Amino acid sequence: MRPAELEELLQKLESNRRELVHQVEEMTEEEAGRRPAESEWSAKEQLVHLAAFERLWLEWAMKVRDEPGCVVGPPSPNPPAYPEAEARSVADLLRELASARASTVAAIDGLTDDELKRRGKHLLFGEMSVLQMLRSLYRHDRMHMDQMAGREASFRPGAPGGPRI
């Protein structure tokens, strides 16, 4: 039997990703490739970013699981653009995102309560448990869904007065 926190995590990963995919599927290729402003990413660029960062956060979480107390992060600074995104279709980018999520679910499905509670230090966000690192995945999805919809971000990691990861 899975720990309750893992069950909740898997449900949120699935429901947030399903909502994100639906949101993107409603866009035309042109809309998904258009940048809302010069300094902002297109939906396609955000999909490339989400897949890359999912793999990175999973790697960090698994390192903390295997080496409690270790230090992880931070990632390289976000690039101003993901030029490879423009040449790819939305369907192709969604397949990449699905592949990243399938790898995540396969890696975390059997985690124990003890493993979820193991802690390490993230160089940007401080001390975090494996569970907190994994929760960042669906929160990151939510943040980018808001950006793609032109809404104020409902989640800002480490924002003063805002929720912590």
Q: Do 107 and 54 form a contact (C-beta atoms < 8 A)?
A: no
Query: 42-83, pLDDT tens digit by residue?
Result: 999 999 999 999 999 999 999 999 999 999 998 888 899 999
Beta strand pairing call for 119-122 and 126-129: antiparallel
| pLDDT score of 103 | 97
Confidence of residue 153 (pLDDT cuts 50, 70, 90): confident
The C-alpha atoms of residue 2 and residue 110 are separated, in whole angstroms, by: 7
Confidence of residue 158 (pLDDT cuts 50, 70, 90): low
Domains of the chain, residue spans: 4-149
Query: 82-116, pLDDT tens digit by residue?
Result: 999 999 999 999 999 999 999 999 999 999 999 99
| pLDDT score of 75 | 83
The C-alpha atoms of residue 64 and residue 121 are separated, in whole angstroms, by: 8
Three-class DSSP category at 114 = helix
Amino acid residing at 159? A
Question: Which listed CATH number (1.10.8.420, 1.20.120.450, 3.40.718.10, 3.30.559.10) goes with 4-149?
Answer: 1.20.120.450
| pLDDT score of 162 | 41
| pLDDT score of 144 | 95
- The whole-model pTM stands at 0.91
Cis peptide before 74 (omega within 30 of 0): yes
